[in-house]
Structure 1
Amino acid sequence: MSLPSVDIGWLDSVPYKKRSRRQQEATKKPRGRPAVRTEFPGVVEAASQFVQSNGFKAHRRRQQEIGVCGSTLRDIRDHLQSTVPGLKGEHPNLNVRTIAHWMHPPNKAHKAAEKYTGLIQARIPAKDNSARKPNDNSHFYAARVRYSLEMASKFSEFVQVYSADNKNKIRIGDCTLAVDRRIRINRFFPVNDAPRYMDHDFPTPGYLLTPSGYLEMEPSGTTTLDHLGREHFVLPQKSRSHVFLRSPRSTNNIASHMNDLQQLTSTPTQKPVLLLVVDGGSDFNVNFPVNELFYALFFKDNDLDSLMVTSYCPGDSAMNPIEHLWAPCTRALTSVYLPSTLPGEDKPPCQQSGLAKDEKEAKEDIVFDRAMDHIRDIYWRDLCFAGHKVNVNCVRSGSPPTPYANYDEVKRVLGGSTRALRTDALVNELYKFTHRHMDRRIGTIIFSKCTLSSCFHCSSHPPRASSDLLACLRNFPSPSPSTSHPGHFKTFIEALSSESILPCEHLQLFHNKGLGRCQQEGCKYVYTSKKDVDDHRRKAH
């Protein structure tokens, strides 16, 4: 039986090649009605102009007219239907998602981003609070802080660096959260036991803890090049951090900060030079007379060869490295309530009637100490920053400050008359010591051991730092504009080899004040106010 013949001519034909998706879409016949932007070619441009007119900068520029800040999809749709001829008649129920797809996708990493065309340069942005108020002095301040940090790296063998500031206060209360309720929750909770906050905060008056932070920074001693090819010393890197918690019944001022630093730096390995980068607030401000005296007292009592205290420009405190510590501290207290009542009681001591003053204060001390202990032993127990565990210290509520406890007395004497200062022998002697050893500038002070044989302290405590370092600190360079790179200041290395200039000579604030410097021989004092001029001339000379 013969088999039937089979046609195999198809083997000679061109093989079928599957078309790509793009080719299929290019030849695919459109279905349904045309797209809105095709039917009305000017609709995208009209939407774009409307969004631009309601941007953030446009909102900030408005002075006389009233306008919205930002646009919603409904705002854009209503505007288009009222301005684009025929659009409302053809599309009375225009879907706002159609308009949304003309913009940039909320997240390019998501597959849904394919639906967004990016024809309108707009999206819902992430919140950004990094803007700062423009200040003509910011550049100078930042350059001077960098000089001081590079100095620490250049002489890393002798210089210890700390960055210091206070954190926002922590609330104690059964009906108020320890930190801001708007902070995002970043911890896991049971599905049936998620945090449920009070609809309003009901704070217990005055029940606030103050955290003071001190961040050690390790100088490197190495150099690098910037984007202009100039050589710099590598800035000190973040290291161990320390937080001191204080109750409202413990003082929080320059004396308490010096007490904290006394505890941190009193070690056998203490270096002879200390650099502090601080905030410009009242309890750290380097140009407050009472603060200057306590900085000088710390310099003297700890036998430092030099103490340099500097700060960033007012408004630029976010640049202080210690500020980075507060974010993890705050996150660790999210959703936390710190009780303001004692066990077995239903009211905080301040709301209990019939208590004597001493009894009320004793109860409050227990409440504050328990709250601080809870933070240290529970919420911040495993807190780490910059690769190191955060060291938390609780200052017992109501305990007297030590070793510096006479802040109020010093402040009273300095704020009084010249006769009152002369009458108080201890404060007067400290005042004279301060002004003999202080190089006082706007936003910076430098204490250095002098070379006078008549100075008992300096002659009986010879310097341990190198002569090059002491020479640098006794005539610390002030930032000056670079001649080779307009718009920039000289680097620290360039400033060391340049001719010395007067302190604050290129600080705009110095010229705006027009107060000048003290003209007494050997006195390094830049005036900061008219009262400062009068007080210095009467009391120091």
Structure 2
Amino acid sequence: MLFHKSVITMISDNRPDWNTDCTANIYNLGRFWEEQRLDALIWVSYAPGHNRFNPIESMFSRLTDLLQGVIIDLDTSFKDTSQKLDMSLIDLCKYWNNKNYYNYKIDCHPMFSVNANIFEGHEELKNLLMNKSQVRIQENPNVQFSLQLYLRHCVRSTYYISFIKCDDKHCVHCSRYPVRATKTISLLRAGGGDIPWPTMIYSNQHYDTFLQRSHSILSCEKNLYPDQNLLS
């Protein structure tokens, strides 16, 4: 396990490659959920035009500012692109590491090309899955089996995708790794596999908070359909 977490929620901007119907995206996210043995993996995207609220966008702006006037001097003796990239990452870390972003210290470490084995086979899988050929997928029983596993545990909408452990005692994955974050999973299951979605109804001088929506769902109130009040 990489993160030693039971539940991970990630925020993404809505770029052209964001598509919850994309087989390759489902497979790669599902594979991450499976290999990290997560109780739940939740991936949420901002609606188009709302990327400015993404904290990652602000952070990259700060990192870019720290590189003003910087010229990376590549060693011409390196003919391999991966070696040049590794050296560039080392140089970038010199400018970013231990700098501050809103009073938080930036802890920067390069991911070298020698560590690329964790992504082994990614390109081949992407090409296979992006082709969307059922025949080609069926010719790869391991890929087909994994994809079916991920789809059974997947909840998708326009701006939301999640993978949540089930309670099926015959499930080849979930039966081997029991749920640890029991309260969180109970809430997600009560909400139909979705996080509590905010209502756009203004009452009692405020909109319902996340905790209020959570309490309502646990009290058997129906959760809103994901993206119901967002831009299409």
Shift of 1:304: 0.8
Aligned partner of 1:332 in structure 2 is 66
Range with bigger deviation, 422-431 or 404-413: 404-413
Shift of 1:391: 2.2
The alpha-carbon distance between structure 1 residues 332 and 504, as it changes in their structure 2 partners (threshold 3 A), is closer
The alpha-carbon distance between structure 1 residues 339 and 490, as it changes in their structure 2 partners (threshold 3 A), is same
| Paired amino acid for 1:373 | I
Secondary structure class of the residue paired with 2:91: helix
Structure 1 residues not aligned, in runs of 5+ = 1-261, 344-359, 511-541
Residues 299 and 306 in structure 1, CA contact (< 8 A), matched pair in contact too: yes
- Per-residue CA deviations over 1:484-520 (Å, capped at 9, x if unaligned) read 269x85332332315214523734656xxxxxxxxxx
Please tell me the root mean square deviation across aligned C-alpha atoms, in Å: 2.8
The alpha-carbon distance between structure 1 residues 481 and 404, as it changes in their structure 2 partners (threshold 3 A), is same
Shift of 1:447: 1.1
Alignment of 1:31-42 (within 5 A): none
Alignment of 1:1-150 (within 5 A): none
Correspondent of 2:87 among 357, 370, 388: 370
Structure 2 residues not aligned, in runs of 5+ = none
Correspondent of 1:319 among 40, 48, 53: 53
Correspondence 1:271 to 2:8: no
Looking at structure 2, the residues matched to 284 and 386 of structure 1 have their Cα atoms a distance apart, in angstroms, of 28
Q: TM-score, normalised by structure 1?
A: 0.38
Aligned partner of 1:478 in structure 2 is 197
Correspondence 1:417 to 2:133: yes
| Paired amino acid for 2:199 | S
Aligned sequence identity (%): 26
| Paired amino acid for 1:313 | A
Residues 449 and 463 in structure 1, CA contact (< 8 A), matched pair in contact too: yes
Secondary structure class of the residue paired with 1:401: helix
Residues 153 and 164 in structure 2, CA contact (< 8 A), matched pair in contact too: yes
Residues 450 and 458 in structure 1, CA contact (< 8 A), matched pair in contact too: yes
Residues 479 and 506 in structure 1, CA contact (< 8 A), matched pair in contact too: no
Secondary structure class of the residue paired with 1:315: coil
The alpha-carbon distance between structure 1 residues 420 and 329, as it changes in their structure 2 partners (threshold 3 A), is same
Aligned partner of 1:289 in structure 2 is 23
The alpha-carbon distance between structure 1 residues 337 and 324, as it changes in their structure 2 partners (threshold 3 A), is same
Count of aligned positions: 223
Aligned partner of 2:96 in structure 1 is 380
The alpha-carbon distance between structure 1 residues 402 and 314, as it changes in their structure 2 partners (threshold 3 A), is farther
Secondary structure class of the residue paired with 1:403: helix
Looking at structure 1, the residues matched to 100 and 27 of structure 2 have their Cα atoms a distance apart, in angstroms, of 34
Q: TM-score, normalised by structure 2?
A: 0.82
Residues 43 and 161 in structure 2, CA contact (< 8 A), matched pair in contact too: yes
Aligned partner of 1:454 in structure 2 is 170
Residues 329 and 383 in structure 1, CA contact (< 8 A), matched pair in contact too: no
The alpha-carbon distance between structure 1 residues 368 and 418, as it changes in their structure 2 partners (threshold 3 A), is closer
The alpha-carbon distance between structure 1 residues 489 and 418, as it changes in their structure 2 partners (threshold 3 A), is farther
Residues 274 and 308 in structure 1, CA contact (< 8 A), matched pair in contact too: yes
Aligned partner of 2:34 in structure 1 is 300
Secondary structure class of the residue paired with 2:109: strand
Alignment of 1:436-515 (within 5 A): 436-466=152-182, 468-474=183-189, 475=191, 476=194, 477-482=196-201, 484=203, 490-496=208-214, 497=216, 499-501=221-223, 503-504=225-226, 506-507=228-229
Aligned partner of 1:214 in structure 2 is none
| Paired amino acid for 2:57 | E
Shift of 1:341: 5.2
Residues 158 and 227 in structure 2, CA contact (< 8 A), matched pair in contact too: no
| Paired amino acid for 1:291 | N
The alpha-carbon distance between structure 1 residues 400 and 361, as it changes in their structure 2 partners (threshold 3 A), is farther
The alpha-carbon distance between structure 1 residues 485 and 369, as it changes in their structure 2 partners (threshold 3 A), is same
Looking at structure 2, the residues matched to 505 and 295 of structure 1 have their Cα atoms a distance apart, in angstroms, of 20
